[in-house]
Structure 1
Amino acid sequence: MSRPTIAAVAQAAGVSVASVSRVLNGLPATEEMAERVQRAVEQLGYVPDSRARSLKVGRTFQLTLAVADVGNPVYVTMMRAVEEVVSAAGYRLVVTTTGADVVDEVALVRGMARGYADGLLISPIRVDEDLVKSIRECGVPVVVAGNVPAKAGVDTVRANSPKGMLLAVDHLVAKGRTHIAFLNGPADTVPGTARAKGFADALKAHDLQPAGETEAADFTFAAGRAVGGEVLRSQPDAVICANDLLAVGLMHELVGAGLRVPEDVAVVGMDDSELAEQSFPPLTSVNLGSAERGRRAAELLLARIEDNDRRPRRIVVQPSLSVRRSTP
């Protein structure tokens, strides 16, 4: 008798092969879909190769990385660093996108209980009590690349955004720019909150008032362009943006309005992604150590898998400033 295939499981469950793959890999799926796939798997006696290996050694040798937007350059950099570490340890990395909704983040963490991965590395953009609770109760080791309360009892690796913001303000003030505006993403997110506070504290350290503060709908290029006119109403001589995508979007609007970067308006981004070097003019940006955060988080996850009883670690990666031609 031939071995059941994933296509046979999909047919028996009445779903697509892609849906079966999502369930078997522990990715977000509806409860109904997961139950249908599991029934079909049991009915047919289907055992994926990775699952068979898991039955022999007690592990899947698969890890999940969950980020808000897999297309964001900063997450791509982090993903590469994570993959380098875990693949050297014999693990396969599965990457999934949670989106910006904390409900989807919670669903992902709870779905890990199905046991299709040995651990989860998650970079949540929003955090609430449900997410903290789901992390604390997760059936597999979890590491957070970001900031969650200590009561979550989980290993974390985060950037020092406030210090990065101070580096940006120090640089602009040293170049004679004192009418500085801030372009943020959604303020109710983890990075939005940290960077807004960092901006306020950095200006206060120089006894300056903000030229203006604008909140974009998202941390994207399109969102940066959409609020360009609002940013310019305060006539700033410099703008610090919460990430590089927002900064490049804003620079497009500045050029469209007949302004020169940096002669009329200096622009600073955050993340120091590949996009910062590729933009025109090349973007001065705060390097928040995305590759280093990815490496450290992956190492913590591997260590947690080996010893799940050790005390959680909270690591802070320090920033630096990459100066390019978008500032004088």
Structure 2
Amino acid sequence: MSRPTVAGVARAAGVSVASVSRVLNGLPATEEMVGRVQRAVEELGYVPDARARSLKVGRTFQLTLAVADVGNPVYVTMMRAVEEVVSAAGYRLVVTTTGPDVADEVALVRGMARGYADGLVISPLRVDDDLIKSIRECDVPVVVAGNVPASAGVDTIRANSPKGMLLAVEHLLQKGRRRIAFLNGPRDTVPGTARAKGFAEAMKANGLRPVAEVEAADFTFAAGREAGRELLSGLGAGSNRADARGVAPGDRGRAGVAGGPAAKRRRSAPDAVIAANDLLAVGLMHELAAVGLEVPRDVAVVGMDDSELAEQSFPPLTSVNLGSAERGRRAAELLLARIDDDTRTPRRIVVQPTLSVRRSTP
């Protein structure tokens, strides 16, 4: 059986081929004409030839979303939001992983010249001059979901991480927690830099100093467990709760454990930890449980991103919502607007955070 064609749709609808083309391409047409064409399309099972359409209009009708780790729940949320917007505009979304290396991010942006997509939303984990240069010179429109200098001259959408950290710190203070530690991801990354800065500012604004700061190797669950072990490295595997609550803080930058009597350690032990994302927070909670510490009774824990994982963890995790769905939606809208008019002034949008309180804080 031959594949239905535009000409066949036109005959079935009783209109011209040009009229069918107008309706299929979303151009102005009367309601009657649109109805007739749509009925004919459904009756015949007509599917537009994407290859022919691409050659005719000079577009692939595909857009790319590039993230560091497609397994991270926050990127899944962003992906769904981007896909919803671009599919409504007639585009297919292709999702790819850049990994943590900025060189791979640069290679992906430069590879857009091959013409397999009409635009790119990229959420870079690391940013350097080469990446900014490649974005500026890219053959297709690019929107950055992250923080790049205004001088880059590109559309950007980012979260207000410092404000999110302030929400987390103030929430813990309201709950009576003052010995607050921070579990960050790599500080040379975009989120690591922003969240470290925000944590320092929030603590200073409230007249506090952190009892410990730990830098995890990555923003993953496994890295959170490892960093949690480092934070709790003064505990033996069989420590009881009384001993476990005596963990002492280490030096800024890497966690360690100071010696001394148990009473002294208890006075300086963290009674709360803020993690730079939910994966790190859940990894930490596993380590706390392993040494007999209860969340939130012994240590309150706050994550960031407010991903699906926050609700699925046990106990459910209090987390700063950095608007990943909103950032995805706005990034997609910025990209479509840029495709429509490449001469428009670049926009820099900041999405404000909220706090989702759950049982990991008392």
Question: How many residue pairs get matched?
Answer: 280
Superposed CA deviations along residues 183-212 of structure 1, whole A, max 9, x for unmatched, are 000000000000000000000011001010
2:307 corresponds to which residue?
Answer: 273
In 2, the alpha carbon distance for the partners of 1:285 and 1:201 equals: 19
Matches within 5 A, 1:14-163: 50-163=50-163
Superposed counterparts of 1:176-255, under 5 Å? 176-232=176-232, 233-234=248-249, 235-255=269-289
Q: CA-to-partner distance for each residue in 1:221-245, whole Å, 9 max, x for gaps?
A: 0000011122234220000000000
Aligned residues of 1:181 and 1:231 also touching (Cα < 8 A): no
Q: Corresponding residue for 2:31?
A: none
**Distance in 1 separating the partners of 2:270 and 2:52:** 61
Letter in structure 2 aligned against 1:145: A
SS of the equivalent of 1:259 reads coil
1:309 and 2:308 aligned: no
Distance 2:361 2:150 in 1: 38
Q: Following the alignment from structure 1 to structure 2, what is the Cα–Cα distance between the partners of residues 103 and 50?
A: 32
Partner of 1:164: 164
Deviations 1:59-82 (A, max 9, x none): 110000000000000000000000
Larger radius of gyration: 2
Give 1:114 shift: 1.2
RMSD: 0.8
Deviation, 1:100, is 0.4
Runs of 4+ in 1 over 4 A off after TM superposition: none
In the superposition, the TM-score normalised over structure 2's length comes to 0.77
Contact 1:172 1:178 survives alignment (8 Å): yes
In structure 2, distance between residues paired with 1:247 and 1:305: 39
Deviations along 1:76-129, one digit per CA (max 9) or x if unpaired, are 000000000000000000000000000000000000011111000000000000
The alignment status of 1:297 with 2:331, answered yes or no, reads yes
Which of 264, 281, 288 is 2:322 aligned to? 288
Secondary structure, aligned partner of 2:63: strand
5+ residue gaps in structure 1?
1-48
- CA distance in structure 2 between the aligned counterparts of 1:175 and 1:184, rounded to whole angstroms: 22
Structure 2 gaps of 5+ residues are: 1-48, 233-247, 250-268
Q: Amino acid of the residue matched to residue 312 of structure 2? A: Q
Identity %: 85
**Structure 1 residues 143, 200: closer, same or farther in 2, change over 3 A?**
same
State the partner residue of 1:262: 296
